[in-house]
Structure 1
Amino acid sequence: MASRVVRNKKTMSKTLTFSCVILCLFWVLSTAELQRFQHGAKEDGSLSLLVVGDWGRRGSYNQSQVALKMGIIGEKLDIDFVISTGDNFYDNGLTGVDDSAFDDSFTKIYTAPSLQKQWYNVLGNHDYRGDVEAQMSPVLKKLDSRWLCLRSFILDTEIAEFFFVDTTPFVDSYFTNPKDHVYDWRGILPRKAYLSNLLKDVDSALKKSTAKWKFVVAHHTIKSAGFHGITREIVDQLLPILEANNVDLYVNGHDHLLQHISSLHSPIQFLTSGGASKAWRGDVNWWDPKEMKFFYDGQGFMSMQITPTQLDIAFYDVFGQVLHKWGTSKKLYSAF
């Protein structure tokens, strides 16, 4: 009888130890900081890049034409890298790392010499309809060294920090009313804990940042006159964190258009670059003209040119023509 009690105690001890290990591992994973990547500025301290979104259609819907003009503008601006605002592969993401859509929609489309730079990609809602982990697999980087895609991460460029945020899990309707779509929620569930940790990580990273410029890149709209309009969950949960931490730009895709909103109630500039292939011509909702600096319901992309004291953006159409420019400046503060 005594030996049985001893064995039971040993079993309980092992079970408790194992449980503690699992709990500790969960705590470490759930409180881990966002992964950080470095991409240095040019020798003169400047940085230049293109922003494109909602593109992966094997070249159709003028994706190839937009890519051609991106290459020309990219060479002219001597870009350092490219940012994608998500929905990288239509209609339902990738089926796996061996899906030909990666080659047909990315490698074979963005062939210009100026576009052979690093691409930093976030996930969109259409990407979550396929094998979402395939897009984050190192296998794709072996297939095309330009590719880097994670859920959320930080890009430090010395003069600016880009905070890439995974916004698809915020949207309630993808969980409650998926409309016959199947979403790949591996790595997301339990959803409440995932979102809570993500918001804490973003808030912490923004607070720690000493960058002159802070830019947030995500897929979903916060403010938009396009089809999707306002994403209420992100407005309620993420926007207050961005405003409290002096973010300069919120850059997104999702609505298939080009857009610049300068809010009357927020210092953040809201920029949409989601016109890299299929555009939604005429699908426009009213927006306060005092806030709407630019709206174009066609195809195109955006550029950013950054120095420690100056930020300039431009939007281009499918013909490479400049449709809209905007700039702002910051003073350099001396320590003496």
Structure 2
Amino acid sequence: MQQARNVTAHGPNMGRRELLAGAAGVAGVVAGASLLGLTPAQAVPVGDGVVKFPLPGPGSARILVTGDAGTGSSTQLAVANAAREFHAREPFSMAVGLGDNIYDSGPSDEQDPQFAAKFENPNAGLDFPWAMVLGNHDTSSVFPGDGSWLARGNFEVAYHASSPRWWMPSRYYSLRIDPAVEFFVLDLTPLAAIIPPVLDPQFSVDGPYMNAQRAWLDGALAASTAKWKIVCTHHPYLSNGGHGNAGSYDGLPAPFSGVAVKAFFEQHVLGRVNFILSGHDHSLQVLEPTTATKGTRQIVSGAAAKTSGSGGSGSSGSGGRNRTKALYESQDKLGFMVLDLTPSAANLRVVTVDPATGRGTQVFDQQLG
């Protein structure tokens, strides 16, 4: 078994035994136990015979940033092909998958063949860890994307045990891949569910699950000494795409407009991390920090299989108002992003993809810090 390095919820350079034991001495999840509300101290154990691709070591890391991919469609395959071509020239260290991993409604269990059809097979040859985020389409109940069967996300956590690529040891977790780089992967789906979790109240906005996640994140950010602190979510704080900004998602009234998501970002994230990486809108956006973000930069990469198709005009979900200044923005191009991180610099590239040929074109390249 290769060692899973630098899982910072447990301290750097910890192997599988320490990963499973956790800070509180928890021995992991026994067979058949509920995965509900897992914390990083209760990570899902890796199955026998499964060897995870190793996390990047110290020095530098090249991150494939992609989201809203899990369709199994020709467009997903085109983007994956462009990523493979990029990887052949400039190898990736790992990927971040920003949610909506299994369209349209999420998996039915941890052995659902959709994992192969919509993740493993399209990403063949992209053999490195994929840090995965839960999205609203991963936790659907009544209709696709309602995000209202929140326990359904546990199937994606359980899949961590059987895939060398798929990295989701808990519904929320952190990865410190280098002394200078730490990712904080969050699960904000309970705060954006279209149908409130009345039958599963532990997922309510102020229920035990979200309160535990808030406390964990506050502590993890306070303890982190990484230069690059990066939060990964499915739902963005800011977006010029059709879903719009948190607090005004899709032009819906509160509480369905993401007001709880907005409050979470403002109380626990903004000004404490360098970047927020999100999907949800099927677009590519490199947004400028605002007074509200307190220096944190929002990046949206959700065009790995679908596009918003608005020709780059964008929207805030409120008739085009409240748009955020962008260094780069496209609403009608498939693509992905490449984040190069060293102890002293963060550089971001945007690659758009021709759906007919699967060829990528680099359209943006800038050092962001």
TM-score, length-scaled by structure 2: 0.71
Counterpart mapping for 1:42-81 below 5 A: 42=57, 45-60=59-74, 62-81=75-94
SS of residue matched to 1:284: coil
* In 1: Cα distance, 2:222 partner to 2:342 partner: 22
CA separation of 1:118 and 1:290: change in aligned 2, threshold 3 A: closer
CA separation of 1:33 and 1:87: change in aligned 2, threshold 3 A: closer
* Corresponding residue of 1:14: none
* In 2: Cα distance, 1:30 partner to 1:320 partner: 39
Deviations along 1:277-332, whole A, 9 cap, x unmatched?
02110172136677221111121111110110010011111131112222134xxx
Q: Aligned letter for 1:284?
A: G
* Corresponding residue of 1:153: 173
CA separation of 1:57 and 1:256: change in aligned 2, threshold 3 A: same
* In 1: Cα distance, 2:90 partner to 2:82 partner: 12
**CA contact 1:53–1:86 (8 Å) conserved in 2:** yes
287, 290, 294: which one aligns with 1:264: 290
Listed as ranges, the gaps of 5+ residues in structure 1 are 1-28, 177-182, 330-336
* In 2: Cα distance, 1:213 partner to 1:77 partner: 21
Tell me the percent identity. 26
Q: Aligned letter for 2:188?
A: T
Q: Aligned letter for 2:165?
A: R
CA separation of 1:185 and 1:275: change in aligned 2, threshold 3 A: farther
**CA contact 2:71–2:118 (8 Å) conserved in 1:** yes
309, 313, 323: which one aligns with 2:363: 323
* Corresponding residue of 1:121: 132
**CA contact 1:86–1:124 (8 Å) conserved in 2:** yes
* In 1: Cα distance, 2:236 partner to 2:137 partner: 15
SS of residue matched to 1:325: strand
CA RMSD of aligned residues (A): 2.8
* In 1: Cα distance, 2:202 partner to 2:130 partner: 23
**CA contact 2:202–2:208 (8 Å) conserved in 1:** no
Q: Aligned letter for 1:148?
A: W
Q: Aligned letter for 1:121?
A: M
Deviations along 1:225-272, whole A, 9 cap, x unmatched?
101111222222223322342x10000000011101112313111100
CA separation of 1:79 and 1:33: change in aligned 2, threshold 3 A: closer
* Corresponding residue of 2:216: 201
CA separation of 1:231 and 1:147: change in aligned 2, threshold 3 A: same
Report the alpha carbon displacement of residue 35 of structure 1 after superposing the two structures with TM.
Answer: 6.6
Q: Aligned letter for 2:351?
A: Y
* In 2: Cα distance, 1:290 partner to 1:92 partner: 30
The answer to whether residue 96 in structure 2 is matched with residue 98 in structure 1 is: no
Which has more radius of gyration? 1
* Corresponding residue of 2:226: 211
* In 2: Cα distance, 1:275 partner to 1:304 partner: 16
CA separation of 1:129 and 1:213: change in aligned 2, threshold 3 A: same
Which has the larger helix fraction?
1
**CA contact 1:34–1:205 (8 Å) conserved in 2:** no
**CA contact 2:239–2:324 (8 Å) conserved in 1:** no
* Corresponding residue of 1:250: 276
Listed as ranges, the gaps of 5+ residues in structure 2 are 1-35, 45-52, 142-151, 248-259, 354-358
Report the alpha carbon displacement of residue 33 of structure 1 after superposing the two structures with TM.
Answer: 5.8
TM-score, length-scaled by structure 1: 0.78
Counterpart mapping for 1:1-336 below 5 A: 41-42=56-57, 45-60=59-74, 62-112=75-125, 115-129=126-140, 131-138=152-159, 141-142=161-162, 144-149=163-168, 150-158=170-178, 159-171=180-192, 173-175=194-196, 188=203, 192-232=207-247, 233-245=260-272, 247-265=273-291, 266-282=294-310, 284-285=314-315, 286=320, 291-297=325-331, 298-318=333-353, 319-329=359-369
Deviations along 1:55-97, whole A, 9 cap, x unmatched?
111133x110000001111232221111100000110011112
**CA contact 2:235–2:279 (8 Å) conserved in 1:** yes
Of stretches 247-256 and 32-41 in structure 1, the one that deviates more from structure 2 is 32-41
**CA contact 2:54–2:129 (8 Å) conserved in 1:** no
* In 2: Cα distance, 1:122 partner to 1:189 partner: 19
